[in-house]
Chain A
């Protein structure tokens, strides 16, 4: 049957099982919007700014594992989406973003609302396509989903000129797709896995350093089994939180710049480092020359380019993390070699000694609301079972430190790009995917204002998101660095003329609360959680001078932490 490009677009999304598409209409995509209007399978979610569409799709993808889908118009629609595309790219999130384009005959003519979407997005996508022939549209959409979701996932942009959506072609959706130049590796090299197991079994001071790849690769169960069989300590990166249960005794906390003392010290002193789905980011390694000076390094990753990029690796294993871990577990069960129990006992004793420093301690008797206390209370009251999204800054680090994630895909944050404005729209994506779940957006008065217009979207779709605004009146992380490294010259880190967040929330039809005393924190959070069907904006006026500890200053080694 012959269909218009716009109908082919909608049919293709149905074939891909897309339930939500986040977007914003405009001239170049009007045919597509008309086709979307005439069906109900794919629900379009209207945001208030294209950046939010990409973050919402991103939150949907991170929490479900299914690709997020976005549609925006040409020109400014596409350029507004770029921040969200780059955010997803840095954290390897599967996403397909459709951008409108001016009609083919006008491309390159500086037409109204024209931008070179392919050129602009090229450095921040896994791949992008310009559709120049309506007969190729369905196949291109199939390829886009395939590329976005396989191998190391990532965002894919499909740029569709307006005339293509009006032209007609025979529609048949390809069942399979093969691309001669794209064949992601799945299975790890058995010889390398055997070498890795040997090294692990001989380790005296091992540590498992695991990242977002474990979550993206659905390998949490295998990781947990491996750690327990071996009795090895586990540390998660910011992106990996939830990959290993945070309440498990083998878990030593997050590592890196604001990681725990025990995690960073164990990294620094380990003799065998097993990196799984992690990429040795500078926020993790600290000064690269001082990183894990005595360790033999095993690195499991789906992306060969991540291996030996920053740190030379001794045993590289390229493959799907879950697949590799399962083969590894078989190998461990199959041979009779036991881990060195005596050495491990000493190692755990050492780790417990580091643990006893209690590097996340804070003043519990303060007259001011401590942000850490808010998050601890939120954790307790939600029984650790909420989805928590965050923006970027101090509140993000505190959420990472004090909300103990026992399950993967519960902690949704922009780790790689560090995008302020991510928290609220990504929470919308999560709430659409899990309408009955508690979704908390932990944010600050700086970050929330970067996408605050989405309070309106939340009204339109009755999204009962719980916004935890840790309002210290400062761009806190900037202020902290200025305090430490710029002799307290607080350049532009103070936000004057803040809105009355309670009234602002109410003006959108939501519930707003302001909490100023530590004694009111728990009661207010209980009340918030009772308002199951409402968006509640909790404006906590917190201690203005609180800093995130511990901290590895930039250029420091992992053993050079500033403690409280």
Chain B
């Protein structure tokens, strides 16, 4: 979409005005500074997804749109988790983090901050694997998506 003030609120406004749900939304400028790329995750029947697609197309700030789920694609989301890490817990948390290919990127006597990247369900699984009582804070970036192979979303 056009990298302009108000573009994001047009998309967000469309979803709330028409009663669609935004599960996650990630947006940032691209290599062309006049364009932003947004990955939006939503849920609905085929008819609702068709209607969402058409309505988004109508927004004048939306330059091009692709339904990633129409073909093979890659979804990635980044998560930072701050956990209590004391005594025995420190080794256990390191192990679990390794299993999920996470990285500990900040360490204090009291806690770890773990960085983890993957599809949304992998991040969910990691949180499940942790003892709830140790989780201090979770921040997720929202999903970014790209099509596999030759398919691409470019101008």
Q: Are these two chains actual partners, yes or no?
A: yes
B68 shortest CB reach to chain A, Å: 20
B57 near A305 (CB under 8 angstroms)?
A: yes
Which A residues lie within 8 Å of B60 (CB)?
126-127, 147, 179, 181-182
Interface string of B55-70 (1 = CB under 8 A from A): 1011011111000000
Residue pair A308, B13 in contact (C-beta under 8 Å) = no
Contact A181 B17 (CB under 8 A): no
8 pairs of A and B residues whose beta carbons are closest in the complex:
A305-B54, A181-B63, A127-B60, A182-B60, A304-B54, A123-B17, A305-B55, A122-B13
Complex: chain B residue closest to A147, CB-CB: B60
A12 → chain B, closest Cβ, in Å?
A: 20
Taking the complex as formed, is A180 at the interface, i.e. its CB lies under 8 A from any CB of chain B?
yes
Q: Are A308 and B17 in contact (CB under 8 A)?
A: no
Nearest Cβ on chain A to B9's Cβ, whole angstroms: 7
Question: Which label, helix, strand, loop or mixed, suits the secondary structure of the A interface?
Answer: mixed
Which residues of chain A in 7-21 are interfacial with respect to chain B, using CB atoms and an 8 Å cutoff?
none
A118 within 8 A of B: yes
Contact of B58 among A118, A123, A303 (CB under 8 A): A303
Beta-carbon contacts of A275-318 to B below 8 Å, as 1s and 0s?
Answer: 00000000000000000000000000001110011001000000
**A35 at the B interface (CB under 8 A):** no
A504 located at the interface, meaning its Cβ lies under 8 Å from any Cβ of chain B in the complex? no
Tell me which residues from 1 to 19 in chain B have a Cβ below 8 Å from any Cβ of chain A.
Answer: 1-2, 5-6, 9-10, 13, 17
Q: Mark B25-62, 1 if CB is under 8 A from A, else 0.
A: 00000000000000000000001001100110110111
A119, CB-defined interface residue at 8 Å = yes
Does B155 touch A at the CB level, under 8 Å? yes
Q: Which chain A residue has the least Cβ–Cβ distance from B63?
A: A181
Interface residues of A in 142-161 (CB under 8 A from B): 147
Once the chains bind, are A180 and B17 in contact (CB under 8 Å)? no
- In the complex, the answer to whether B6 meets A180 with C-beta atoms within 8 Å is no
Q: Are B55's CB and A122's CB within 8 A? A: no
Query: For residue A182, which residues in chain B have a CB less than 8 angstroms away from its CB?
Result: 60
Closest to B55 in A: A305
Known: A305-B57, A309-B51. A181 touches B2 (CB 8 A): yes
Q: Let me know if B155 and A180 touch, CB within 8 A.
A: yes
Alpha-carbon gap, A127 to B59, bound state (A): 8
Give A105-123 interface residues, CB cut-off 8 Å to B.
Answer: 118-119, 122-123
Chain B residues bordering chain A, tally (CB within 8 A) = 21
**24 A-B contact pairs sorted by A residue (CB < 8 Å):** A118-B6, A122-B6, A122-B13, A126-B60, A127-B60, A130-B5, A130-B6, A179-B60, A180-B63, A180-B155, A181-B1, A181-B2, A181-B60, A181-B63, A181-B64, A182-B60, A303-B58, A304-B57, A305-B51, A305-B54, A305-B55, A305-B57, A308-B47, A308-B50
Binding site for B on A (CB under 8 A): 118-119, 122-123, 126-127, 130, 147, 179-182, 303-305, 308-309, 312
| Chain A residue at smallest Cβ distance from B6 | A118
Name the residue on B nearest A181 (C-beta). B63
Whole-angstrom distance between the alpha carbons of A130 and B5 in the complex? 9
Q: Are A305 and B58 in contact (CB under 8 A)?
A: yes
B154 to chain A, nearest CB (A): 13
Q: How far is the CA of A156 from the CA of B62 in the complex (A)?
A: 17
- Closest B residue to A156 by CB, please name it: B60
Asked if A181 and B50 sit within 8 Å, CB to CB, the answer is no
A residues in contact with B50, CB < 8 Å: 308
Q: Cβ of A309: which chain B residues have Cβ within 8 Å of it?
A: 51
A116 to chain B, nearest CB (A): 10
Q: Which residues of B contact A181 (CB under 8 A)?
A: 1-2, 60-64
Docked complex Cα distance between A89 and B117 (Å): 44
CA distance A458 to B105 in the complex (A): 73
Query: In the complex, what residue of chain B is closest to A119 when comparing beta carbons?
Result: B9
Please measure, in the bound complex, the distance between the C-alpha atom of A175 and the C-alpha atom of B57, giving whole angstroms: 26
Chain A residues whose C-beta falls within 8 Å of the C-beta of B62 in the assembled complex: 181
B15 to chain A, nearest CB (A): 11
Q: A23 to nearest B CB, angstroms? A: 24
B34 closest partner in A (C-beta): A180
Q: Which interface residue of A122, A130, A312 has the most chain B CB atoms within 10 A?
A: A122
B-chain residues with CB within 8 Å of residue A119 when the two chains form the complex = 9
A295 to chain B, nearest CB (A): 18
Q: Are B10 and A122 in contact (CB under 8 A)?
A: yes
A residues within 8 A CB of B9? 119, 122
Contacts of B54 in A (CB 8 A): 304-305
Cα A126 to Cα B55 with chains together (Å) = 12
Instruction: Please give, as numbers and ranges, the residues of chain A lying within 8 Å of B17 by CB-CB distance.
Output: 123
User: What residue of chain B has the Cβ atom nearest to residue A179's Cβ?
Assistant: B60
Distance (Å) between the CB of A125 and the closest chain B CB? 10
Q: For B9, B13, B58, B64, which residue has the most chain A Cβ atoms within 10 angstroms?
A: B58
Residues of A within 8 A of B1 (CB): 181
Task: Report the Cα distance A130→B4, complex, angstroms.
Answer: 11
In the assembled complex, the Cα of A52 lies from the Cα of B6 at a distance in Å of 28
Residue of A nearest to B17 (CB): A123
Q: Report how far A130 CA is from B13 CA in the complex, Å.
A: 17
Taking CB atoms and an 8 Å cut-off, the chain B residues in 58-115 that contact chain A are 58, 60-64
Residues of A within 8 A of B47 (CB): 308, 312
Q: Determine the distance from Cα of A147 to Cα of B62 in the docked complex, in whole angstroms.
A: 14
**Known pairs A181-B1, A181-B62, A181-B63; A123 contacts B57 (CB<8 A):** no
User: What distance in Å separates the Cβ of B62 from its nearest Cβ neighbour in chain A?
Assistant: 6
Which residues of chain A have C-beta atoms less than 8 A from B64's C-beta?
181
Q: In the complex, A56 Cα to B58 Cα: how many Å?
A: 27
New A-B contacts (7) at CB < 8 Å, excluding given A122-B9, A179-B60, A181-B61 = A118-B6, A123-B13, A180-B63, A303-B58, A308-B47, A308-B51, A309-B51
B55 to chain A, nearest CB (A): 5
Q: Closest CB-CB distance, A334 to chain B, in whole Å?
A: 32
Q: Give the CA-CA distance A479 to B50 in the complex, in Å.
A: 40
Shortest C-beta distance, B1 to chain A (Å), equals 7
Which residues of A have CB within 8 Å of B6? 118, 122, 130
CA–CA, A303 and B55, complex, Å: 10
Residue of B nearest to A307 (CB): B54
Cα–Cα, bound, A180→B13 (Å): 22
Name the CB-closest residue of B to A180.
B63
Write the chain B residue with the least CB distance to A151. B58
Report the separation of the CA atoms of residues A309 and B51 in the bound assembly, to the nearest whole angstrom: 7
A179, B2: Cα distance in complex, Å: 11
How many angstroms from the CA of A308 to the CA of B13 in the assembled complex? 22
Q: Smallest distance from the beta carbon of A106 to chain B beta carbons, Å?
A: 17
